[in-house]
Amino acid sequence: MSAGPARAEPVAPRAGDPQAARGFRRALRATLGRSYPRIIGSNRDKSWLFYDTVLPLLGTVSFVYVYKTFGAPERFLAYVIMGGATTAFWMNVMWSMAAQFYWDKQAGNLELYMVAPCGLLPILLGMSLGGLVATTLRAVVIVAAGSLLFGVSYAGGQIPALLLVFAVAMVALYGLGITFASVFLMWGREAWHMANTFMEPVFLLSGFYFPVRALGFWVGLGASLIPLTLALDAMRRLLFPGAHPALLPLAAEVGILAALAVGFAIAAWVSLRKMEMLARREARLSLRF
Amino acid sequence: MSHAIEIRDLARTYRSKRPPRSGGPATVVALDGVSLDVRPGELFGLLGPNGAGKTTLIKVLVTLLLPSSGSARVAGLDVVADARRVRELITMVSGGETSGYGLLTVREQLWMFAQFYGIPGRRARARIDELLEVVGLGEEGDRRVSALSSGMRQKMNLVRGLVPDPEILFLDEPTVGLDVGAAREIRAYIKRWIGEKPNRTILLTTHYMAEADDLCDRVAIIYKGRIIACDTPAALRRRSARGSRFVLTTDPLDPGARLGDLPGVVGTEMRTADGRSELELQLADDGAISGVVRALSEGDRKIYSLQKLEPSLEDVFVEIVGRRMEEADEPPSG
Ligand SMILES: Nc1ncnc2c1ncn2[C@@H]1O[C@H](COP(=O)(O)OP(=O)(O)O)[C@@H](O)[C@H]1O
Ligand SMILES: [Mg+2]
């Protein structure tokens, strides 16, 4: 992940400052340390193979048959498969991150994280990294299995551009994930449930299973606030050059994604600081009460 | 740095979680003007019943809570202005912690926490192995955290606090809920750790009198957010007005024996059974016992045993608060 130095120094760290260098190395270690349980967890408990890949696949299969019935072009099958893979990331960010963070608080981990000198940001980055690695594994399984099952093929050749779009989208997405996780921790489970019910239709609207253009330009642009919308659109046009009706020119889509990445990264940082302030001032996160 | 911990007029209030019906107060005063100094190298105990404010005080010191008023310095650094730097020098371990991830092994979990302190991998692993050996978990390093007994778990948590080699270690009721054996072992490791280097400092909270007495160089008794006494355990006990008490067994005495009239004898209680008399004596000071012994030997009474009854910290607490400590526990909220 393209995260900057994760220390909030009162003075801007100067290059070559040993204190800042030490802080940066510690932040890096902390990030990798926190990602470890998630990555290892996926390997120790194999049940994810079923729950996280077979179930999303079953969900997409129904869309595949709908499209087949209507005689949609072959790339629509690929849309659905890609949408299924993307759903895994959306679930990870909207559901798993917030749930894990809440669980961390209940288990008493959050207090230990706050007492540690690395600060909360590297911890959350580590959580994101762990989620990203584990989810990418699932997404690859879903795409591979789905494509084999329905005999879908893609245009190669555009892999570097594809990876760039994916990387930028992931920074934006996990920035959003960290923001949500800390906001939900501050405002409680109710806010979380509310946002989830609210998000469900939004995410169906954001073109996971069809070109977002189909919604019309303005709705499509609105749905682009969810980083996955434009990421999917850009990746689909790269995989089906000429055939995919994209919402915006590629450069504009990547530009907006980059702006979202910066915006959500700042939002994540601000909401974590705010959360820590509230915790220390109002004992919001205290356990036994 | 003259003090490891320096607390001045510290107060902390919470917004009350109980519904404000019943006209109860809207705020809970958890700390009410606490001032304390802990010296480098000291094992300092904070003794008090449940709800006294022990955890709140620790949380302020480890930068988890802001003071409502007053100030605190840890290792010479202000816990509000220099929170980041304070965190580099301290660790905290609480009793009954369920921290970490059950699916990790003990070693993995400790390694993960070491990373948050920026300890390079190899050094972290070496230290973890060494400390696991010390606390008798050398064999359990590859076991899953979820498979540990509560005693083992608490030893692992203690290791977690020791791996970064903190200057000041905060222990919040480290033996709470453990069986006698495990608690005794934990206390032994604590003593061993602080004895290894002269400038290691520990602030420990407990509601076990014996633990404070056994472990701590100095003890502050805290009650309703205030420090009501602070001294070495021995000095605290001496301070008890019940001061000097002895039990003595001797040949049967007639009920008329006027030991109570001897100089320095404040009170006597006598039980006679099995051909012996057991006397419990309350004296003005320890020295007065010689007069009692002399009077008995002049009366041709053999003395079979003589024992000084040490006042306990419990006595000190009862005297100041007027209740036994268990009776002073705050009822559970909710
Ligand atoms: N987060 C909180 N919200 C409201 N009241 C609290 C909170 N934490 C502690 N208290 C209250 O503050 C007082 C001190 O609690 P605490 O510091 O946990 O005591 P101890 O650790 O000595 O048992 C108690 O009256 C407790 O009910
Ligand atoms: Mg407590």
**What protein residues have CB closer than 5 angstroms to ion ligand 2?**
B 54-55
Closest listed ligand to the CA of B94: 2
- Whether residue A111 lies inside any domain: the answer is yes
Q: Which residue has the higher pLDDT, B136 or A146?
A: B136
CATH dotted code for B242-309: 3.30.70.260
Q: Is the pLDDT of residue B8 over 90?
A: yes
Mean pLDDT over A1-13 rounds to 42
**What is the reported pLDDT for A215?**
80
Phi, psi of B307 (to 5 degrees): -140, 135
Mean pLDDT over B28-45 rounds to 96
Q: Is the pLDDT of residue B329 over 50?
A: yes
CB distance B112–A33 less than 8 Å? yes
CB distance A25–B62 less than 8 Å? no
pLDDT above 70 as % of chain A: 88
Interface mutation vs chain B, best among A34, A111, A115, A284, most B CBs within 10 Å? A115
Phi, psi of B218 (to 5 degrees): -135, 155
- Whether residue A12 lies inside any domain: the answer is no
Mean pLDDT over B319-333 rounds to 79
Q: Is the pLDDT of residue A170 over 90?
A: yes
Q: Which residue has the higher pLDDT, B90 or A187?
A: B90
Q: Which residue has the higher pLDDT, B5 or A62?
A: B5
* Lowest-pLDDT range of A155-169, B6-20, B249-263: B249-263
Banded model confidence at residue A1, pLDDT cuts 50, 70, 90: very low
Mean pLDDT over B267-285 rounds to 87
What 8-state DSSP symbol labels residue B44? E
Measuring from atom 25 of ligand 1, which residue has the nearest CA?
Answer: B51
pLDDT, averaged across chain B: 91
- Whether residue A37 lies inside any domain: the answer is no
**What is the reported pLDDT for B334?**
40
Which SS3 state, helix, strand or coil, does residue B196 take?
Answer: helix
For A144, the domain range is 42-281
Per-residue HEC secondary structure of chain A comes to CCCCCCCCCCCCCCCCCHHHHHHHHHHHHHHHHHHHHHHHHHHHCCCHHHHHHHHHHHHHHHHHHHHHHCCCCCHHHHHHHHHHHHHHHHHHHHHHHHHHHHHHHHHCHHHHHHHCCCCHHHHHHHHHHHHHHHHHHHHHHHHHHHHHHHCCCCCCCCHHHHHHHHHHHHHHHHHHHHHHHHHHHHHHHHHHHHHHHHHHHHHHHCCCCCCHHHHCHHHHHHHCCCHHHHHHHHHHHHHCCCCCCCCCCHHHHHHHHHHHHHHHHHHHHHHHHHHHHHHHHHCCCCCCC
Q: Is the pLDDT of residue A2 over 80?
A: no
Banded model confidence at residue A220, pLDDT cuts 50, 70, 90: confident
**What is the reported pLDDT for A16?**
65
* Lowest-pLDDT range of A199-213, A219-233, B163-177, B270-284: A199-213
* Lowest-pLDDT range of A149-158, B292-301, B302-311: A149-158
- Whether residue A2 lies inside any domain: the answer is no
Q: Is the pLDDT of residue B43 over 90?
A: yes
* d(CA B113, nearest CA chain A) in Å: 7
Banded model confidence at residue A211, pLDDT cuts 50, 70, 90: confident
* d(CA B95, nearest CA chain A) in Å: 11
Mean pLDDT over B131-149 rounds to 95
Q: Record the tokens describing residue B168, joined without a space.
A: 């000041």
Q: Which amino acid is at A267?
A: A
Which SS3 state, helix, strand or coil, does residue B88 take?
Answer: helix
Compute, in degrees rounded to 10, the torsion defined by CA atoms A101, A107, A109, A111: 100
pTM for this prediction:
0.86
**What is the reported pLDDT for A4?**
39
Q: Is the pLDDT of residue A205 over 80?
A: no
Banded model confidence at residue A9, pLDDT cuts 50, 70, 90: very low
Q: Please report which helix (H) or strand (E) contains residue B37, including its range.
A: strand B27-38
Give yes or no for a contact between B128 and B114, defined as CB atoms under 8 angstroms apart.
Answer: yes
Contact A280/B at CB under 8 A: yes
**What is the reported pLDDT for A3?**
39
Pocket of ligand 1 (CB under 6 A): A 283, 286, 289; B 14, 17, 28, 30, 48, 50-56, 330, 333
Mean pLDDT over A118-130 rounds to 94
In the stretch 7-36 of chain B, residues with CB closer than 8 A to chain A read 14-15, 17
**Count of domains in chain A?**
1
Banded model confidence at residue B227, pLDDT cuts 50, 70, 90: very high
Q: Record the tokens describing residue A30, joined without a space.
A: 């902390």
Mean pLDDT over A39-51 rounds to 74
**What is the reported pLDDT for A8?**
40
CB distance A37–B62 less than 8 Å? no
Q: Which residue has the higher pLDDT, B75 or A145?
A: B75
**What is the reported pLDDT for B24?**
65
CB distance B112–A115 less than 8 Å? no
Strands B201-206 and B43-47: parallel
- Whether residue A22 lies inside any domain: the answer is no
Q: Which of A33-42, B13-22, B235-244 has the highest mean pLDDT?
A: A33-42
Banded model confidence at residue A67, pLDDT cuts 50, 70, 90: confident
What fold, for B5-239? Rossmann fold (3.40.50)
**What is the reported pLDDT for B243?**
66
Distance B30 CA to ligand 1 centre (A): 6
**What is the reported pLDDT for A155?**
75
ipTM comes to 0.85
**What is the reported pLDDT for B135?**
95
- Whether residue A98 lies inside any domain: the answer is yes
Banded model confidence at residue A202, pLDDT cuts 50, 70, 90: low
- Whether residue A155 lies inside any domain: the answer is yes
Mean pLDDT over B82-97 rounds to 95
Q: Please report which helix (H) or strand (E) contains residue B59, including its range.
A: helix B54-61
- Whether residue A26 lies inside any domain: the answer is no
Measuring from atom 18 of ligand 1, which residue has the nearest CA?
Answer: B55
d(C-alpha B49, C-alpha B233), whole Å: 17
Mean pLDDT over B290-309 rounds to 89
Q: Is the pLDDT of residue A5 over 50?
A: no
Q: Please report which helix (H) or strand (E) contains residue B315, including its range.
A: helix B313-321
- Extents of the domains making up chain B: 5-239, 242-309
Nearest residue in chain B measured CA to CA from A275? B64
Per-residue HEC secondary structure of B228-259 comes to EEEECHHHHHHHCCCCEEEEEEECCCCCCCCH
- pLDDT tens-digit series, residues B164-199: 999 999 999 999 999 999 999 999 999 999 999 998
CB distance A289–B101 less than 8 Å? no
